[in-house]
Structure 1
Amino acid sequence: MLFNSRGVSILLALSIGIVTTAFLSLLEGVGTTALILTFILSSSSSYLLISIVLEFLFFKEINKLYEVFNKLGEKDYSFVNDLETQKSFNPLRKINQEIFSYAANKQQEIDELKRMATYRREFLADVSHELKTPIFAAQGFVYTLIDGAVKDKKVRGKFLKKAAKSLDGLEMLVNDLLTLSHIEAGEITMHFEEIDLLALVEDVFDQFEGKTDKKNMSLQLDKSYEGPINVIADYQRIYQVIVNLISNAIKYSDENTEIVVGFEINQKEVTIAIQDHGAGISPEHIKRIFERFYRIDKSRSKERGGTGLGLAIVKHIIEAHGSSVSVTSTVGKGSLFSFKLPVEKEPEPYVPIADEEGE
């Protein structure tokens, strides 16, 4: 309920009119008409003055405070920026602005803590689920061998290979978790140097030659490029990015399709684009594909393998290079992942060096 200055103004104005008339009645020779006029004039003028003062200096600010608290309840913080740009010499308004900003900041902190708590719960649940799958698989094979299957050479070899495959998946998951954790904590330092993107991509193509042959797919450049394509980046980390993106493209593309890598070169930067012709990604999933363990189709993703951390690692590595990953996709036609890398290092800030005499 908002405060209203009208009632308070009337009460104060009547009080002033009564007091003024009472004092005037003590004087000799003052008639009833003069007293009535004095009461009316003093009351009305006092009412106007008091209502203006109360409305603009007091009640208006209190009403604003109530409005802001309502907005805080609705988690609407748009008013904070407006308050920061407003300047006023009214001390009450300044106090209110401080209260508003403090309350809004605290509410945002509470909301962020709640969001992080939810994120931690989801992350622990995801990690537990992802670790459970290879561990249980390996346990099943090992215990089957212990229960007697070890005596059968064919079964023994088959189960040992499956157990080893499950443990390899577990190792890959742990390594990806450690890599992601170290990157986010800033414990991995990027070693920036001049690298040849063209040679790097060709090395990645060679690595996936066996996988593409099985699906009758092709890895190719969008056109012929002459000479090296040099950028400033961490070779190992960008190699990891290209591997993850091409690996995903192979997993989620149909047989008899092609994956195309292209470069857009200008004076300041090079854009790397990886285009596949797979199932594509719907808009509601594009916003979340860089989250840890997020899978569009969890059942089919399990069949294809992977840890669910590849794109999260890609995102963090590219951000550590001062860039970001862009995604455009059409369901049923394919997806395009792209990012930019600088051609030259930014010049180091000049620091004057004192001479031997310290001048």
Structure 2
Amino acid sequence: MSEQDKTIKDPSGKILSLVSHKLKTPLSIINGYSEAILSQAGKEKFSPFAAKALEEINKQGLKMAELVDKLLTYNKVSRMSVKELKREAVPLKALAKECASAAIAKDDDSVAVSSAEPTAKRGTYIEIDCSESLTIQADREILKAMLEEMLDNAIKFNNKMEKIIKVQGANHGDSISISVRDYGAGIRPQDVPHIFDPFYQVDDYFTGQINGWGLGLAMIKRGAELHGGTVNVVSDRGLGSIFTITLPIQ
């Protein structure tokens, strides 16, 4: 059996799945009702405290729902086999634009998706350099989750006022690569060998202030392996990182 055919032997997988599913229903109710109440803010007379509390409940509920979704995605991908992949022709530039828009929608400081050099000094900018005709045979849902995670990380681990992120797709003849480059904090050399391990979080950010389980990069690695590919990182502390997924052309 090849390496990519092996599902991850994670004895906690069933527990993760159970916990995430059990959390999803009550969170959906909390978020649904809080949004419904907030929508009545113009008709009802809420005190400033009540209005602020409702907004915070809804905000934190949405964050928790996103965490649960990430847990479900990791659990699905980690337990998947190659035979379960649903390969199709995926246009990379269109996918990159979709993922960039999703990342921007989740980030309060994000303001633009552009193909030109940004001039503003505050906000998050995602530039996409990829041919419109570049496609790859892959499981679109998994590839989308991988790229979204890379963009989310590029935004989260960057505390600069102006965040510039560059996405590049390239055809190398026998493989296609998708790179996400940021100019954020970078990764310490001693952390690099471990960042693709499940639940590993860099100490600098293990404060509860950064949303995440430490499962995103493990999910990306597994997704690349399922497609017969790889993921690697080049990082300079203080200068940023480049994460690259390389998948073979079928």
Shared fold by TM > 0.5? yes
- Quote the offset at 1:288 in angstroms: 1.6
Aligned equivalent of 2:73:
179
1:203 aligned onto 2:98: yes
Stretches of structure 2 lacking an aligned partner (at least 5 in a row):
1-8, 31-44, 113-121
- Quote the offset at 1:204 in angstroms: 1.9
**Which structure shows the higher helix fraction?**
1
8 Å CA contact retained: 2:91, 2:132: no
1:165 aligned onto 2:59: yes
- 1:163 & 1:257 partners in 2: Cα distance? 28
2:169 to 244, 256, 263: 263
- 1:203 & 1:296 partners in 2: Cα distance? 28
**What is the aligned-residue RMSD (CA, Å)?**
3.2
Per the alignment, do residues 268 and 258 of structure 1 end up closer, same or farther by CA in structure 2, a change over 3 Å counting?
A: same
Superposed CA deviations along residues 78-114 of structure 1, whole A, max 9, x for unmatched, are xxxxxxxxxxxxxxxxxxxxxxxxxxxxxxxxxxxxx
Say how many residue pairs are matched.
203
1:241 aligned onto 2:146: yes
Aligned equivalent of 2:34:
none
- 2:85 & 2:153 partners in 1: Cα distance? 24
1:280 aligned onto 2:186: yes
8 Å CA contact retained: 1:295, 1:301: no
Superposed CA deviations along residues 244-272 of structure 1, whole A, max 9, x for unmatched, are 10111011122224111122312221111
SS at match of 1:261: strand
Aligned equivalent of 1:213:
111
1:316 aligned onto 2:222: yes
- Quote the offset at 1:172 in angstroms: 2.7
SS at match of 1:325: strand
**Which structure shows the higher strand fraction?**
2
Aligned equivalent of 2:85:
190
8 Å CA contact retained: 2:199, 2:213: yes
| Structure-1-length-normalised TM-score | 0.49
8 Å CA contact retained: 2:96, 2:128: no
- 1:270 & 1:315 partners in 2: Cα distance? 16
- Quote the offset at 1:284 in angstroms: 1.3
Matches within 5 A, 1:218-237: 218-222=125-129, 225-237=130-142
8 Å CA contact retained: 1:281, 1:330: yes
Per the alignment, do residues 157 and 319 of structure 1 end up closer, same or farther by CA in structure 2, a change over 3 Å counting?
A: same
- 1:276 & 1:208 partners in 2: Cα distance? 14
Per the alignment, do residues 218 and 152 of structure 1 end up closer, same or farther by CA in structure 2, a change over 3 Å counting?
A: closer
Aligned equivalent of 2:36:
none
Per the alignment, do residues 301 and 258 of structure 1 end up closer, same or farther by CA in structure 2, a change over 3 Å counting?
A: farther
The structure 1 segments of at least 4 consecutive aligned residues displaced by more than 6 Å after TM superposition are: none
- 2:205 & 2:99 partners in 1: Cα distance? 28
Matches within 5 A, 1:278-357: 278-297=184-203, 299=205, 302-343=208-249, 345=250
Give percent identity, aligned residues only. Answer: 28
Superposed CA deviations along residues 48-103 of structure 1, whole A, max 9, x for unmatched, are xxxxxxxxxxxxxxxxxxxxxxxxxxxxxxxxxxxxxxxxxxxxxxxxxxxxxxxx
SS at match of 2:222: helix
- 1:259 & 1:155 partners in 2: Cα distance? 37
Which is greater in Rg? 1
Aligned equivalent of 2:37:
none
Stretches of structure 1 lacking an aligned partner (at least 5 in a row):
1-115, 139-150, 346-359
- 2:170 & 2:50 partners in 1: Cα distance? 53
- 2:91 & 2:228 partners in 1: Cα distance? 18
AA of the residue aligned to 1:219: I
Per the alignment, do residues 317 and 208 of structure 1 end up closer, same or farther by CA in structure 2, a change over 3 Å counting?
A: same
| Structure-2-length-normalised TM-score | 0.69
- Quote the offset at 1:287 in angstroms: 1.4
- 1:291 & 1:162 partners in 2: Cα distance? 32
8 Å CA contact retained: 1:326, 1:338: yes
Name which structure has the greater RCO, CA cutoff 8 Å, separation 6+.
2
8 Å CA contact retained: 2:97, 2:128: no
